[in-house]
Structure formats: structure tokens, C-alpha cells
Structure 1
Amino acid sequence: MGRHLDRAKAYVGRDVSGLLEGGRYSLVHTRSLEFDDLRPYVPGDDVRDIDWKATARSGNVLIKRFVSEKHHKILVVADAGRNTAGLSPSGEVKREVAANVIGALGLITLPRSDEIGMVFGDGRGCVDIRLRRGETHLEYMLQRYLDHACDHPGRSDVVTQLRWVAEHYRHRHLVVVVSDEPEVDDRLDELLTRLAARHDVMWAMTVDHPAIAGPDDPMDADVVGYDVADGATVLGRTDLGRDVIAAYEEAERARREALYESMTAHAVPYALIAGSRGIRRGLIGMTGVLARAG
């Protein structure tokens, strides 16, 4: 296994087999009736698929698995622009957290022989890596993503990547967006409406370190920082004063509330990932929401 996948494996764990299971989670809604094998029941499965005879013999609830349920088509849509150079609350660079999220998704596909591809880039355009299987393909995807994010990336604008997917991916996929928390505007609303009508969409949001350190934050409150998007100076808590800080915190609260309402309105499960150690919990939360949605 390559070094990028090895790094992601430390955060997603060894047992990833159940993270894409579940009747609703099958991306092929007109399921083939060709029986393949049995597997343990997972919350969210259709109870009509329980094999009662096998369940009685084994003492565990078992589900019939069909060929079309077994293989998914997963498309990662990732921001690789300047915003990925920022810090996450864990202290990691956000592109490293994002790469570990993408690697974790890839690791989930391996035992299932799912196909996975990726569209990434910045405001200037997109790189489209077509769906394939296997460790070599996953390692290639991760290396291409990190090369782009590290080598003079352009302005972040994940809407550019979402628009590419809306215009070029006609067949149903599981679309997993990996970016920071997007700005809610008419462009995003229009694209989420289009994408959610055709695909199953989830959003893994890599969280920014707060622009203003909290009073209990170990970072020095007097430190002057900068915005990775445009290089603008970000003053410390002491320089800004109480009124400015209160206004900032209120604006942040309103921004996040609007974002969460938008995701809920479009039925897009999302997770806030503040660092690599939260990846497995975030993926389980998102897949659980999507499974229950059916």
C-alpha cells in the first residue's frame, strides 16, 4: 500500500467493510434480483431483504445481498485551491486532512471492488480522473491532488468543480464533496438542486481554524495572521477589541446556520471534520443519514 493510503488508514481504522452497506445506500435503485451472498444486517437495511431461514440457523440477522448492491460508483469532488493551505483546528494543514478523507473513502472501496474517481481543482478549472479500482489508482489520485494543492494553486471555488460534475456526469453516482465550508449563494443553491436530483450527494467539510483565537486558545491572542486566500492581515484578539470580536462571532454563527439550513434543504448529509482523527466519525455520520433517508 502506498504512503498516502497508509497515512489515511491510521485514521479510518481496519474495519471499513460496513461503511457503504445498507439497502438505501445501494446506488442502483432498480436492483438486480440475482442473489449473490449473505451479510450481517446493518441499520437502514430493508427488512424485506432479511433471510429468515439463514437468520434462524445462524442466530444472527442476515441480509440477502444482490449483485447490483455490491458495487458502487463513487465520485470525489475536491477543492485543491488556496484555501487548502489553511490550518484546521487540529493544527494540521487542511489539504492533509482532505487527502486523508479522500484516502479513507478509497480504502472503503477496496474490499468491495467499488469504482472511484475524482474531480478536483480551483477557480481556474478542473482535473477529471475517471473511475477505476485498486490501490495503484487511489495512490495516483491522492498524489495528483496533493501536487495540485501544493504547487501554486489558484483561488478556491468548489462551485467550479460542482458545475463540471453537473454538466459531465449524467449517470447516478455517490458524489462526496471534500472542501472547506462553502459560502451559501445562488450559484451553490442552483448546483446542489441539479446534483441532488441525479446523484446521492454528501459533503465532508474541512473546518478552518478560527480567524480569531478564543480566550482559552493556546495560540497567542496577540499573534497577527494572514488569510491564505488573499494574503490579507488578520489581527489578533487583543488588537481587535471586544465589539469587533462579538460582531465576528455573531457573523460566524449566522454563516454556519445558513450553511446547515442549505444542506438540510437539499437533503445533503454533511460532516464537519476538524482534523484527521475525526474522519471515521464523520464518514459514519454521513452514511448513516443517507441510509436513513431512504
Structure 2
Amino acid sequence: MERNLERARIHFGGDTRGLLEGGRYALLHTRSLELDDLRPYVPGDDVRDIDWRATAREGDVLVKRFVTEKHHKILLVADAGRNMAALTPTGERKSDVAALVIGVVGLVAMDRSDEVALVYGDRTGSGRTPARRGETHLGGLVDRYRGVAAASREPSDIAVQLDYVAAGFKRRMVLVVISDEPEPGSELGARLRGLAGRHDVLWAMVEDQPAIGSADDELDGFDVGTGRLVLGGPFVGPRVVAAYRRAEAERRARLDAFLTECGVRGVRIAGAADLRRGMVSLLGDFAHAR
């Protein structure tokens, strides 16, 4: 199972400093052994924190102040349906890239001693793995997702997983949603605003391979959701390709505005080579959110 995290480390690197810090909620505060500074004693301070040497030297009672560590409970919400069998712009299977995203969150959480749980599924329902810490558990989350996504033949519908989370997870958490790019709409908006009111919601969107990429030698493809043929650029011609690209740019802009309006921070990831840029952007932005 640990090799699953190693795959993520190969593509992401080992430096996770500064990621997933801050946010609106610090769900668990623990005192580290790292000394911050000294300050005067006030009633109610733990007498065990008194620095007797500094007190004798300065003539005033001084107590040690330690660095406070903030830990989160993280919930990964991953689409394991048929959409994730499609390819990314780099030609990788989307479920493989999603597994790498899970692995990266695992690496960050392992370095921070955060607890991580997983919700996964498709249109027919959701499953879950409880929150725990540790390398074996975090590697197991990747393994579990890979197995479910490889076996699923059912359509994707991330709204089913979001409803499952809304009904079953009332405590404040950091939600990291992993799917393809959702279709904006009033129903999804209501779900996201409800979740964002209770949790910090981050969305890692694994990009689709373009339906029409060029007017040159592109081959025809098919939609994994419907099985329908998608004609390539040589068949439809350059004007249709150009119109498609304009429509795609407008769609992406609408989606970005929609997520911002819902209080969700999102990032697109095109493939394994894009993993570090995307996840640092997503988790780094979170580090500065208040």
C-alpha cells in the first residue's frame, strides 16, 4: 500500500511545507515541543510551564510559550464512476490521475498528522473509509479508490457523493472533492453552498481530453458516459474546431465563476505532470484562507 504514496511522491515531490495550513477551521490544537518564546505568568497558566532559570535570572515569573500545531480532519470525496475511465489531455486515465491526487493529499496529511477519510462512488451510491492517520491507512485509501474505480461500470454523478457527505458528516472538515469538471446549475449550487457553509471545500478537477483538438490528423473518439461517437477535427473542419474552442473557453469561465460564487476553491489538473502545480495552487491557496 505504501507504494501508492510513493507514486504520488514521484510526481509531486517530497516538499509539502506550507500546504493545508490555516483555513477557517483548526479542528484540533495540540502543543508541540517547539519553544516559541517566554512571557510573564498570569493566573491560570500551567505551573509546569514556568521557566525557573529564566525566572531566577529576570526576577519575574516567566512561562514558556510553545508553538501550537493545527490539525484538520480531511474528507476526500472522489468520483469512482464511469466518467473517470475517460482520458485526460495528456492521454492518462482520469482515475489514475485522481488516485495521484488522493496520494498527494495523503502525503500532506501524513506530514501534518492529519486524519483523512474517503467517500467514493457513482450514481448508484457511495461508500466510505473512516478517518485515520498513518502511512498504511493513507496508502490504503489510494488502493481502495483504484479498485473501486477500475471495477465500476456505472455512470458518474458527484452530486450523489455530495448528498452523502451532507447527510452523514456534520462536524467541520476539509472536503477535497476529486472528479471531472462539474456542470454548473442551481441544484449543484445549493449543495455546494450548504457544504461550504459548514466545511472548507476544495475541488480538484481532472480535465477531460478535448472532444475536438485540431483540424489535422486527430482520430475520432467516443464519450465514455454515453458511448456515442465523437467526430475528430479532420471530419468537422477548422471552423467547427475554432467554435468549439471558444465555447470551451466560455464554459470554463462560467464554471470558475460558479465555484467562486459557491465559496469553493477549485483547480484543474491535466495529468501527472501537472500534479504539483495544481495541488500546490489548491492547497497553498487554502493555507492563506481565513
TM-score (norm 1): 0.83
Q: State the Cα distance separating 1:258 from its structure 2 match.
A: 1.1
**Contact 1:26–1:72 (CA under 8 A) maintained in structure 2:** no
Tell me which residue corresponds to 2:252: 256
- Following superposition of structure 1 onto structure 2, how do residues 181-260 of structure 1 map, counting pairs within 5 Å? 181-215=181-215, 220-221=217-218, 223-260=219-256
Cα distance, 1:52–1:176 mapped onto 2, change above 3 Å: farther
User: Following the alignment from structure 2 to structure 1, what is the Cα–Cα distance between the partners of residues 205 and 161?
Assistant: 15
Indicate yes or no: 2:284 matched with 1:282.
no
Identity among equivalent positions (%) equals 43
User: Following the alignment from structure 1 to structure 2, what is the Cα–Cα distance between the partners of residues 204 and 3?
Assistant: 22
User: Following the alignment from structure 1 to structure 2, what is the Cα–Cα distance between the partners of residues 187 and 153?
Assistant: 25
Q: Alpha-carbon deviations, 1:234-259, whole Å to 9, x = none?
A: 11111113443333223212211110
Unpaired segments ≥5 residues, structure 1: 40-49, 54-62
Q: State the Cα distance separating 1:265 from its structure 2 match.
A: 1.1
Tell me which residue corresponds to 1:124: 124
Cα distance, 1:51–1:154 mapped onto 2, change above 3 Å: farther
Deviates more, 1:236-245 or 1:143-152: 236-245
Cα distance, 1:158–1:137 mapped onto 2, change above 3 Å: same
Q: From the two aligned structures, give the one with the greater strand fraction.
A: 2
Tell me which residue corresponds to 2:67: 65
What amino acid is the match of 2:227?
Answer: G
Q: State the Cα distance separating 1:268 from its structure 2 match.
A: 1.5
What amino acid is the match of 2:244?
Answer: Y
Cα distance, 1:240–1:27 mapped onto 2, change above 3 Å: same
User: Following the alignment from structure 2 to structure 1, what is the Cα–Cα distance between the partners of residues 169 and 288?
Assistant: 25
Tell me which residue corresponds to 2:173: 173
Tell me which residue corresponds to 2:61: none
**Contact 1:80–1:153 (CA under 8 A) maintained in structure 2:** no
Tell me which residue corresponds to 1:293: 289
User: Following the alignment from structure 2 to structure 1, what is the Cα–Cα distance between the partners of residues 281 and 95?
Assistant: 22
Cα distance, 1:64–1:89 mapped onto 2, change above 3 Å: farther
Indicate yes or no: 2:243 matched with 1:270.
no
**Contact 2:20–2:283 (CA under 8 A) maintained in structure 1:** yes
User: Following the alignment from structure 1 to structure 2, what is the Cα–Cα distance between the partners of residues 52 and 284?
Assistant: 34
Would you say how many aligned residue pairs link Structure 1 and Structure 2?
A: 265
Structure 1 stretches of 4+ with a deviation exceeding 3 A read 50-53
User: Following the alignment from structure 1 to structure 2, what is the Cα–Cα distance between the partners of residues 238 and 283?
Assistant: 35
User: Following the alignment from structure 1 to structure 2, what is the Cα–Cα distance between the partners of residues 38 and 248?
Assistant: 56
Deviates more, 1:170-179 or 1:148-157: 148-157
TM-score (norm 2): 0.84
Indicate yes or no: 2:30 matched with 1:28.
no
**Contact 1:118–1:129 (CA under 8 A) maintained in structure 2:** yes
What amino acid is the match of 2:226?
Answer: D
Indicate yes or no: 2:150 matched with 1:150.
yes
Q: State the Cα distance separating 1:176 from its structure 2 match.
A: 0.4
Q: Alpha-carbon deviations, 1:183-240, whole Å to 9, x = none?
A: 1012210111001000001111111111112257xxx32x111111111001111111
RMSD: 2.3
